[in-house]
Amino acid sequence: MNFSDKVLAAAQKIKAFGKKIAAPDLAVVLGSGLAEPFHKLKCFWRLPYAKIPGFHAAGVGGHKGELACVEWRNRRALLFFGRVHYYEGYSMEEVIFPVECMAALNIKAVALLSAVGAVNGQYRPGDVVILQDHINLMGANPLRKAGANKDPMEFLSLNDCYSPRLQRVLARCAQAEKIRAHSGIYLALSGPTYETPAEIKAFRAFGADVVGMSMVPEALGARRRGMEVAGLALVTNLAAGLDSVPPAHKEVLEQAALSGQKVFDLLDRAITEF
């Protein structure tokens, strides 16, 4: 079965599972440790990734590996509880597979969430970052595979990869919720190692504000399919060299548990404008 057929099979499985309710037009991908506040939403159905053709069970702590359809302020939304990562050994094609399914399900907008390390010295754990742009140093691009799949080769403009409209909505809602939020640049690396202090110094010179190991492939895949993309990150730790304590995934999950409600509250206020 080729890639397109796998996407179609997964979309059909999801449609069949939720055929008795209105189709969702919004998706949210939840990053490390950010899921808990979203469980309060009214849920119509849940489906483990392992039961969806082409999906993979999440293998990293803080990623449950489950798809849910919820009611959110009179809208239907798909919540992706976790993601798979390039550093886990998956291909870029596999990493963006859920995004391809979103497109097949006619999703119009997607909010990508993640936990990040702060490169900007003014950022602190618990701050929220509304992505303005990104720097891709992952060493791979998920759209490269399109040629091998016999799709026409395309050179996608990324001038507005992260929707300026949604950036304004989120900034306004953060102010209304009194949430400390920044407009920032996300630098993506392949992982799984954390960065060295020397790398963080270099990244700061590049103009990066935060650093992480996800989001960018999904954003590229979503933009190729015409979706409006919002990127929202929670600072869970200071990057290497900015703190006496080296970064650790346990710290990321602990901070996400403490501050994840802010991310939910911000989206909850903004969701009707997505």
Q: Residues 11, 63, 66, 218: which is the catalytic one?
A: 63
Q: Residues 87, 90, 254, 257: which is the catalytic one?
A: 87
Contacts for 39 with CB less than 8 Å, ≥ 6 apart: none
63 in catalytic set: yes
Is 232 buried (19+), middle (13-18) or exposed (0-12) by CB count in 10 A?
buried
Q: Residues 141, 146, 249, 254: which is the catalytic one?
A: 249
213 in catalytic set: yes
Q: Residues 11, 27, 213, 240: which is the catalytic one?
A: 213
214 in catalytic set: yes
32 in catalytic set: yes
Q: Residues 27, 92, 115, 222: which is the catalytic one?
A: 115
Q: Residues 32, 114, 120, 259: which is the catalytic one?
A: 32
186 in catalytic set: no
Q: Residues 85, 186, 208, 251: which is the catalytic one?
A: 85
Q: Residues 120, 163, 214, 259: which is the catalytic one?
A: 214
136 in catalytic set: no
- Do residues 107 and 27 make contact, with C-beta atoms less than 8 angstroms apart? yes
What's CA 80's distance to the chain center, in Å?
A: 9
56 in catalytic set: no
- Do residues 185 and 134 make contact, with C-beta atoms less than 8 angstroms apart? yes
Q: Residues 88, 141, 146, 257: which is the catalytic one?
A: 88
259 in catalytic set: no
Cα–Cα distances (Å) from 210 to 92, 135, 217, 242, 274, in that order, read 22, 10, 16, 12, 24
**Catalytic residue IDs:** 32, 63, 85, 87-88, 115, 213-214, 237, 249
